[in-house]
Structures are given as structure tokens and as C-alpha cells.
Amino acid sequence: VSVEANTAVVRRLWTLFQARDWDAAEALVHPDIVVDWPDTRERMRGRANFMAVQRNYPEPWGTIEIRRVIGRNDLVVAEIAVHDARGTTFAISFAELEAGRIVRAVEYWVDDDGAPPAWRAQWTERIAG
Amino acid sequence: VSVEANTAVVRRLWTLFQARDWDAAEALVHPDIVVDWPDTRERMRGRANFMAVQRNYPEPWGTIEIRRVIGRNDLVVAEIAVHDARGTTFAISFAELEAGRIVRAVEYWVDDDGAPPAWRAQWTERIAG
């Protein structure tokens, strides 16, 4: 399986999540997948658990924008922005693939941390979300 | 400049940050660098501003662990963990290089979000920080 095919799988997964097409998304997931969310210290072990979390994630959770996807061998990194009425949340996913399915992932979810500390304001400017 | 050389620059930058060797780190930074921190909606424009923030970042800020670095063309993604007495913070950096120096970066800083919501506890397990 080529890097191009692997990156296409990851792009397709996020596109299917956006479409809430859980059955099609599930076909891209290895039965033995293990997914970590380090920011909440959670692990989902196995396709049934991982997909249950996706299917039951409380709505509304916004619109997924795929910003960048880059791959090397069996690893694919995706930079994702999720826009909703409150603003933008970011996700960065490190996915490992095996024969065209995602078998391991570490996903970092980045919340808006609010106003930055004052000590560095002299060297920074503010940007939109 | 090869992908291998670019990834080596990014590895070296984080290693020099860990060593607080600001002068050596500065040599890897393009004068016109622009760095975004989306989680606090901050932008640092220009090498002097970016390096001032690094030099003045309040101690103690822990020990940098470089987990993964992957590159494609002029883009290098680094997955970083920063360990301190309170736990682990993560950083994911998307750096663009020009002639061996970092000219553009988007860095996501991921804080511990504390306990996860209860609705998904039936499908997840807790992991260490």
C-alpha cells in the first residue's frame, strides 16, 4: 500500500465522519484499532469501542476542515480544524495503517485556551480562531 | 535541501530549546519567520519576536521529549511531549523550511483537559499522561 493510498484513507475517514456515514467509516478501521486521546488520557481499544464513541458523540459538533495531510510509509499525520458556533477546535491525528486500514492512532484535540499570558504580549499579536 | 536535512533541523531546534542554547537555536530560524499558536490565538512575527518569547518563557517548563518527526518536501511535523512535575503537555509543530531554516510554523499546544465526559466512559479506558 502506497503513502498516497494511506493518505487517501485518512482524508476519506474525516470526510465520512463529517458526513456521519459511520458504516462507510467503519470499513476503514482495523478490527484491532487502538486510539489514544492524550488530552483527556483516554484510550479506545477495538473497532466497536472506537466507532461507538464516534456514533454517540453529542451533536452539534461542527464542520470538519482538513487542513493538511502528510504521510511517510505507514504513518499519516492530519491537521484538522472543527468549526462551530463557539469557534474553532483543532485536531492533529497521527494514524498508522496496515493494509489500507487504520490500526493505531494518537489524536491530539486542541481547545481554545483563552487569553494568552501577559508576559509575552510585547512580542506577539492576536490572530483569529 | 533534502527532507532528511529539514527533519534534522527541526530535531536540532527542539534539542537546542531543551539545552536553552538560544544563540544556536536562532541560527536555525529565518529572519522573516512567522509562528502561530492557535490554542491561544497568538502570532509571533519575525525572528527577534519569536526568539524573545523562547528566551523569556518562564522556568521551569520541563523536559522536552521528541516523539516523532516526519517530513515531506519543505514541511516537517514534530510530535513533542514536555514533561514536568505537574504532568505532560504535548506540542505538535508544522514547520516549513526555506534553505535549511524555519520560515513558517503552526504549533499546537495541548494541555491536559482533565477528566473526560461520562457519556463515553463505557467505551474507553484511562491512560497515563
Q: Which helix (H) or strand (E) holds A23?
A: helix A22-26
Which tens digit of pLDDT belongs to each residue from B17-68? 999 999 999 999 999 999 999 999 999 999 999 999 999 999 888 999 999 9
pLDDT, mean over chain B: 95
The C-alpha of A42 sits at a distance from chain B's nearest C-alpha, in angstroms, of 5
What pTM was computed for the model?
0.95
The whole-number pLDDT of residue A55 equals 96
Q: What is the 3-state secondary structure (H, E, C) of chain B?
A: CCHHHHHHHHHHHHHHHHCCCHHHHHCCEEEEEEEEEHHHCEEEECHHHHHHHHHHCCCCCCEEEEEEEEEECCEEEEEEEEEECCEEEEEEEEEEEECCEEEEEEEEEECCCCCCCHHHHHHCEECCC
Q: Provide, as residue numbers in chain B, all residues whose Cβ is less than 8 Å from the Cβ of A114.
A: 40
Nearest to A53 among B39, B112, B120 (CB): B120
ipTM of the complex: 0.93
Residues of chain B numbered 65-124 and touching chain A (CB < 8 Å) = 68, 70-72, 75, 77, 79, 88, 90, 92, 94, 106, 108-116, 119-120, 122-124
Q: How far is A50 from chain B (nearest CA, A)?
A: 7
DSSP state of A116: P
Whether B72 shows a pLDDT value over 80: the answer reads yes
Quickly state the pLDDT bin for B114 (edges 50, 70, 90): confident
Q: What is the mean pLDDT of chain A?
A: 95
pLDDT digits (tens, 9 = 90+) for A47-91: 999 999 999 999 888 999 999 999 999 999 999 999 988 889 999
A61 touching B, CB under 8 A?
no
pLDDT over 90, % of chain A = 87
Is residue A33 very low, low, confident or very high in pLDDT (cuts 50, 70, 90)? very high
Confidence band for A117, pLDDT divided at 50, 70 and 90: very high
| Position B129 pLDDT exceeds 70 | no
Report which of A76, A89, A114 is spatially closest to residue A39, judged by C-alpha positions.
A89
A53 SS3 class: helix
